[in-house]
Amino acid sequence: MAHDDEDFRRARAVPSGRMARFGAFGRLAGGVAGNVLAQGARKLASGERPQLRDLLLTPGNAKRLTDQLSSLRGAAMKLGQMISMDAGDMLPAELTEIMARLRDRAYHMPPAQLNTVLTAAWGPQWRQRVAHFEAHPLAAASIGQVHRATRKDGRILAVKVQYPGVRESIDADVDNVATLLRLSGLLPREIDIAPLLREAKRQLHEEADYLREAEQMGRYANLLADNPRFVIPAADPALTTERVLAMDFIESVPIERLESAPQADRDQAMAQFIGLVLRELFTFGFMQTDPNFANFRYQPESGRLVLLDFGAARPVDPAAADGYRRLVRAGLEGDRAAVRQASLDVGFLKPAILERHGPLIDRMIDVILHETRKTGLFDFGDRAFVGVLREQGAAVAADREAWHIPPAETLFLQRKISGTALLAARLKARVDVRGLAEPFV
């Protein structure tokens, strides 16, 4: 969810018709092309020989792309977020930066458009169904925005209202964004993102079904009923529809507030989150795969952790879980050959990479094993080894024939795992990861 900054305070209607959204993509492509021509002419006039890549990746084009995808919301914005998080390490730094901006950028609907959506969902007399409804949203994101409301019985709700036209435009928006990235030259042609696009469409259709999300929320709450450290809101079935999700409003603060908490509090919170990922992967066979920090919140008084947004919750493929189990076991045992094989089985590596860069891959595995074999607390704040891995991986990244995106199932699982690790690094937590993982593998 976007924070209440200057952009968030501005309302901007969501283009809901197919032609309106297609026209927006056309204007974006035309604007980028016009900027390229203007920049190229200036460089030629000054005696320089312009490179197309440099012309495309100008600050003006970056802002134009970010603004347009933000205003479209829906799949256009969501795909940008997914690409930046799921494949960011494999894409040009400029594209990663542009897409990463979309994680915290969203406009909310103006009142008239909001009224239209709620009238369609709750009826023309929808205001009579609640005692109070706050017109200004608490937060805005890619598919919907959240409002606070109070039922007539006093129950305080968070009401997520879906943007109009988002659900109907998913497939076209995903295809348009992919085409735009291909034509712009921002996305390397060697990377086959077709499987990711298919999976993105499927997941986005699921996320746009709020009745499904309410069911997933209830299922998740049942799975965590034995852990009082987690709080999950309950849906209000009387006010929940396919496009409006009403649930308990839970007082809490952003998870990032833990950055200033005592070390012990940060460590305990991240131990809970890492333990949760392990249970999702190896016990539940069911995972909330969206690690956006806005989906995790904190109650300072009780120390409880609040979990939100279950649109991306999905079953875990048993074969993928087994592959991860073998990968974790090999890492804990320090077995380089087993790590290499498990990485192939899960899809992190492909045979061609090992054939062309086997010794380098082994050295990278050794760096990881050195970290995972340490006993005691793992210090997520110490990121020195990440720089070593990035430096060693530069040779692989420079070899276009070695470029590779793992299977979609692996990507979505790894998205949650990597996002949890990023949160731990943000909080500079120290956790006995080995002690948490051993019982599962």
Residue pair 330/338 in contact by the 8 Å Cβ criterion: yes
Give the C-alpha separation, 105 to 367, whole Å.
36
Give the C-alpha separation, 290 to 296, whole Å.
10
Give the C-alpha separation, 392 to 80, whole Å.
27
Give the C-alpha separation, 361 to 126, whole Å.
60
Q: In sequence order, what are the beta bridge partners of 430?
A: 379
Residue type, 441: V
Give the C-alpha separation, 80 to 364, whole Å.
29
Residue 233 DSSP one-character state: P
> What distances in angstroms separate CA 111 from CA 10, 13, 108, 135, 194, one per listed residue?
12, 9, 9, 7, 38
Nearest Cα neighbor of 314 from 390, 237, 231, 212 is 212
Helix (H) or strand (E) holding 389: helix 384-398
54: annotated active-site residue = no
Give the C-alpha separation, 165 to 17, whole Å.
6
Residue pair 143/208 in contact by the 8 Å Cβ criterion: yes
Instruction: Indicate which residue of 86, 267, 290, 309 is catalytic.
Output: 290
Give the C-alpha separation, 278 to 272, whole Å.
10
Q: What is the largest CA-CA distance in the chain?
A: 73
Residue 316 DSSP one-character state: P
3-state secondary structure of 133: strand
3-state secondary structure of 302: coil
Phi, psi angles (nearest 5°) of residue 420: -65, -40
Helix, strand, coil % (nearest 5) of the chain?
A: 60, 10, 30
Write out the catalytic residue numbers: 290
